[in-house]
Amino acid sequence: MRALAETLEPPRAIVVIPTLDEAENIVSLARELLALPVAVEILVVDDSSRDGTADRVRALGAETRRVHLLERPRRMGLGTAYRDGFRWALERGFDRLVQMDADHSHRPADVPRLLDVLDRAEIAVGSRYLPASRITGWPRRRWLLSRGAALYVAPILGLGVSDPMGGFKAYRASALGRMGLDAFQATGYLFQAESLYRASRAGCSMEEVAIHFQDRVAGVSKMTGGIILEAALGPWRIRFGR
């Protein structure tokens, strides 16, 4: 019976969005996602933002049952936010999981393209650095930092992708299960590359998708010097142990 139900029911997709003071962005982003031609639910993982992000998400959740909120007691890092969010979604039987930033850097219009890729690969990796990709609104310094991080991290982890630090991806649930969410080392931004490293070690198939990335629309960056240091040292730790 279960096998039959699985073949008849369309895959359930959820977009996991970590937030830290994104009240100005999250509602408009969620509404754009809900208006997509493909049906998705949304999980916001909020680390006790002080600008009312969680209240706005709760209000939206009361309006539509497709928006969910996972609240954490303090800032605990982007990597653990994604892992907690993915666990939440896997426990509730979602088949396809998308991750994206809250600040409108990742466009909802690209979500259906990422999900389509999951018909032929287990992971769709949004890339800012394919010939068809676009980045708008970034000063040259920011571009250099991001491009440099990508070129530095990929060979250390043996990743054959152009944008290992990108935060716009889609996974089949089965792939996340094989990647071992409990074993991750990165608690912060390096989660992005570690997820691909663990996926390739688990034999997951991946395909890169060109995306149009734009600078955050509102709010402030959460990037700090500590995050840059993590990107410098972390890949070696992930590759060669603690």
Ligand X SMILES: Nc1nc2c(ncn2[C@@H]2O[C@H](COP(=O)(O)OP(=O)(O)OP(=O)(O)O)[C@@H](O)[C@H]2O)c(=O)[nH]1
C-alpha span between 79 and 241 (Å, rounded): 18
Residue placing its CB nearer to Mg ion in the complex, 29 or 43: 29
Query: Residue 41 Cβ, how far from ligand X at the closest point, in Å?
Result: 18
The 40-46 sheet, strands edge to edge? 67-71, 40-46, 13-19, 96-99, 169-172, 123-127, 206-210
Please report how many Cα atoms fall inside a 13 Å half-sphere around the Cα of residue 161, on the Cβ side. Answer: 30
Longest dimension (CA), the chain: 57
Residue placing its CB nearer to Mg ion in the complex, 101 or 110: 101
Q: Beta strand pairing status for 169-172 and 96-99? A: antiparallel
Q: Which residues bind Mg ion (CB under 5 A)?
A: 101, 103, 105, 216
Query: Residue 105 Cβ, how far from Mg ion at the closest point, in Å?
Result: 4
Residue placing its CB nearer to ligand X in the complex, 158 or 226: 226
C-alpha span between 199 and 203 (Å, rounded): 6
Of the candidate residues 68, 95, 105, 133, the single one contacting ligand X (CB under 6 A): 105
Q: Which of residues 36-65 bind ligand X (CB under 6 A)?
A: 45-47
Of the candidate residues 113, 216, 217, 237, the single one contacting ligand X (CB under 6 A): 216
Question: Rule CB under 6 A: is residue 117 a binding residue for ligand X?
Answer: no
C-alpha span between 81 and 30 (Å, rounded): 18
Q: Beta strand pairing status for 206-210 and 123-127? A: parallel
Question: Rule CB under 6 A: is residue 221 a binding residue for ligand X?
Answer: yes
Give whole-number Cα distances, 5 to 80, 173, 177, in Å: 33, 17, 21
Residue placing its CB nearer to Mg ion in the complex, 87 or 216: 216
**Phi, psi of 127, rounded to the nearest 5 degrees:** -125, 135
Residue placing its CB nearer to Mg ion in the complex, 47 or 95: 47
Binding region for ligand X (CB under 6 A) out of 8-16, 102-110, 113-121, 151-159: 102-110
Query: Residue 103 Cβ, how far from Mg ion at the closest point, in Å?
Result: 4
Question: Rule CB under 6 A: is residue 18 a binding residue for ligand X?
Answer: yes
The CB-nearest residue to ligand X is 221
Query: Under the rule (CB under 6 A), what is the footprint of ligand X?
Result: 18-20, 22, 45-47, 75-78, 81, 101-103, 105, 216, 221-223
